[in-house]
Structure 1
Amino acid sequence: MLMNAPATFIQSYIDDLNDALNQLKPGAALTRIQAAWLGTCLTGILLMNSVCWAKFERASLGDCKVAALSWVFRKASIPWDWLLRVSVVLILKRYGITEGVLAFDESDRARSKSTKRIYKVYKQKHKGSGGYVNGQTIVLLLLVTSSITVPVGFFFYMPDPAFRRAMLPHEIPGLLSP
């Protein structure tokens, strides 16, 4: 599979996305380079069924380098929160969706033992072994409609370190005293 330019429907989606971004938040529109990068990433995801910079580089026959792709992702000032909002609004308008239910979905992800540079990692109970692992809890906010389910937000959950466990009724001061 060869990835020279974004697919035409992806390019029109990015153009619509950029117009909507500019309308909702003036000055938040993507630059030409950011729009090209997003087009490359979306086309790569479509073709490779993966988010892997190395696969994108191979599919573009070296035109898109791993270092450049990851640099734009990490360093470019892309308004990610606005991009997600505008994307959801475009999808809802395109398919005429007017009602749905918001639902939360959380999942625990085990990470490596050395987790100094990973965001919101904490010690979790490992269900399989009965021991503990370092991991992240990712919470998705989903819009569930009769035709589709769309992610509309996400965040990383980390419990308050001072609040280790729920207190039993007899441990709460003043609760059971006369």
Structure 2
Amino acid sequence: MSGNVPAIRFAGFTEPWEQRKLGELFVESDDRSSELEILSVSVANGIYPASQSDRDTNPGASLANYKVVRPGDVVYNSMRMWQGAVDSSLYEGIVSPAYVVAHPTEDVIPRFFARLLRRPELLVQYQRASQGNSKDTQVLKFEEFANIVVHVPHDGAEQIVIGEMFDELENLITLHQREPPF
């Protein structure tokens, strides 16, 4: 990116991208519930219903303090953010209180942010902003997340096109991984 203009663009988009702090785009959400479906967050698979996982959820655990996630919310594992344990949810549900739930403050395109927040240069920033003595104990609190600066298209249509392109690419990769070898 040269200045605030990406080197490669989709046709029809020429406006410079904006430099924004994540705290301008998201606020921490602390809504609680025990009535919704439990969601899982992983580096490999993003956010998905725990019922689609082979892992057992802790059946004896109290869900009273679980945090509500709505479609479009960004959810991240505060201890694994620097590894890319972040996604923008397509689902409504609940997550462990150990996760951070960030709700958009304005119209942001969830699938664009799902990719943006996993960019390698941001993973490095998360690690620098995390607090703790070692990688195993580092935690990225929302206050530090909120101060991280990103470049985003001002035009929501450009966010949509980028998000859709990456969704299509991921679907294509998944299809090819399912094909039997020759």
TM-score scaled to structure 1, two decimals?
0.25
- Point out the structure with the larger helix share: 1
TM-score (norm 2): 0.25
More relative contact order, 1 or 2 (CA 8 Å, 6+ apart): 2
